[in-house]
A and B are shown apart, each in its own frame.
Chain A
Amino acid sequence: MKRAVVIVVVGLLAAVASYCALYYCGTKQHREMMESPAPELAWLRKAFRLSDVEFERIRKLHEGYLPRCAELCQRIAQKNSELQHIVSGPNVEANAVEQKLKEAGELRVECQKNMFNHFLEVSRQMPPEQGRRYLQWVQQRTLTPEHDMVRRHRSDHAMEHH
């Protein structure tokens, strides 16, 4: 009987140990990326198989792009706020609204141009094949009107359900 109990315990320990070992090994790479200082860049490095040199150049580009992007976002928010102020006033001037809409639109275009230039620069730092793949992938998720339409449709749909 004692021998049987020992075998049962050994079996259970083997099952638990094998589960933990495989789970640990299977998620190690992703856990390390999540714990890195810039998880999104660590993911980019893995997804597009970047070398150390390529990654370092892209990291610098990314860090340089963020302040410019934030500045444009701030200016767009400012224009939206000004537009809101005009629209909520007692006498709404169509010309003033049109002007603000035009300015906000120009800033959005500038923001998208800035994004696209960044994508191009990043793709140029990658090996040619990976660069093409990156451009295709990033445009599908950011700049294409289809993506925006689908996103808006989803959020509208979600609001209807709520």
Chain B
Amino acid sequence: MKMKNNDTELKSLLQEWRVTSPLPPRFGEQVWKRIERAEVPSISLIDAVRAWFAMAFARPAFAVAYVSALLVMGLTLGFVQASNKATSLERQLEARYVQSIDPYQRGQ
């Protein structure tokens, strides 16, 4: 009974209360931003990358471009390395022939 009386008193007190101090500038906008931030779930960088990864490779054009790029890269690197190796072996063989016929070059 006493509690009910207190409640009534509190209600009347609250109704009498008036806020006199001014609100800070752009108060409403700030409140909405805070609500937005609270609503968006925070995701980690790894999750973001995984999501992007799955989304990107789901597109056939991207997957084909990726495989083609790696294929071209492998072919280019293989060609360059093979050319260098072949040139080096060619020089070695040429030198071996010259050394085999010229006794003055055998000690080199």
Chain A contact residues, CB within 8 Å of chain B: 1, 3-4, 7-8, 10-12, 14-23, 25-27, 29-31, 33-34, 39-44, 47, 62, 65-66, 69-70, 72-73, 111, 115, 118-119, 138, 141-142, 148, 151
Q: Which residues of A contact B69 (CB under 8 A)?
A: 11
| CB-based contact A26/B74 at 8 Å | no
| CB-based contact A4/B58 at 8 Å | yes
A65 vs chain B, min Cβ distance (A): 7
B53: CB under 8 A from chain A? yes
Partner of A30, one of B81, B85, B100: B85
Query: Chain B residue with minimal CB distance to A34?
Result: B89
B82: CB under 8 A from chain A? yes
Q: Which residues of B contact A111 (CB under 8 A)?
A: 103
Chain B contact residues, CB within 8 Å of chain A: 50, 53-54, 56-58, 63, 66-67, 69-71, 73-75, 77-79, 81-83, 85-86, 89-90, 92-94, 96-105
Q: What is the CA–CA distance of A29 and B90 in the complex, to the nearest angstrom?
A: 10
A39 vs chain B, min Cβ distance (A): 6
Partner of A69, one of B74, B90, B97, B103: B103
Q: What is the CA–CA distance of A115 and B23 in the complex, to the nearest angstrom?
A: 107
Q: What is the CA–CA distance of A34 and B104 in the complex, to the nearest angstrom?
A: 23
| CB-based contact A43/B82 at 8 Å | no
| CB-based contact A27/B70 at 8 Å | no
| CB-based contact A14/B70 at 8 Å | yes
Q: What is the CA–CA distance of A26 and B83 in the complex, to the nearest angstrom?
A: 7
| CB-based contact B67/A39 at 8 Å | no
B40 vs chain A, min Cβ distance (A): 23
With contacts A1-B54, A7-B66, A26-B82 taken as known, whether A17 is within 8 angstroms of B74 at the C-beta atoms is yes
Q: What is the CA–CA distance of A42 and B90 in the complex, to the nearest angstrom?
A: 11
| CB-based contact B78/A34 at 8 Å | no
Q: List 26 A-B contacts (CB under 8 A).
A: A4-B56, A11-B66, A14-B70, A19-B74, A22-B79, A22-B82, A23-B81, A26-B78, A26-B79, A26-B83, A27-B86, A34-B89, A34-B92, A34-B93, A40-B93, A40-B99, A66-B100, A69-B103, A70-B103, A73-B103, A111-B103, A115-B101, A118-B101, A138-B98, A141-B102, A142-B102
